[in-house]
Amino acid sequence: MELSTGTITANLERIGEGLRTMRGNFQDAGFQEAVVSYRQMKQVLLQQRLLSLSSQDPKLREQWQAVHRETEEIAGLLQPFLSVMEEIGRVAAMNSISEQPEEAAGSGA
């Protein structure tokens, strides 16, 4: 399938608009500011975890396990998304055919 420059231009305009909207949504949701808060929370949790490791309280163990499960679920949602965003960025930054990402080269894209 032969794509015209006009088709590619229109597609890139739509993609750029969608990505800008997504970035704006993340910014509006406070993602950047949240990182600072979550780093602080991690420090508090680290101290509390170190103190609670010697505890035999089953409720504490359950609560730590629940926090672990939730963080794994969140990371599982975000990591693939982050990976594909990085891959899209590498595709957009290509300067020559020889720079094709491995997946794109293998898929005939």
In contact, 89 and 104? CB cutoff 8 Å: no
Per-residue pLDDT tens digits for 82-99: 999 999 999 999 998 887
Alpha-carbon gap, residue 61 to 25, rounded angstroms? 36
Q: Inter-axis angle of helices 31-52 and 5-28, to 10 degrees? A: 50
pTM: 0.74
* Residue 54 structure tokens: 């010697």
Token match 């509390």: residue? Answer: 48
What's residue 104's pLDDT? 53
* Residue 98 structure tokens: 């020889």
In contact, 60 and 52? CB cutoff 8 Å: yes
In contact, 107 and 96? CB cutoff 8 Å: no
pLDDT along the chain (109 residues), means of 10: 85 96 96 94 97 94 97 97 95 87 56
Alpha helices in the chain (DSSP H): 5-28, 31-52, 58-93, 102-107
Domain boundaries, the chain: 1-54, 63-109
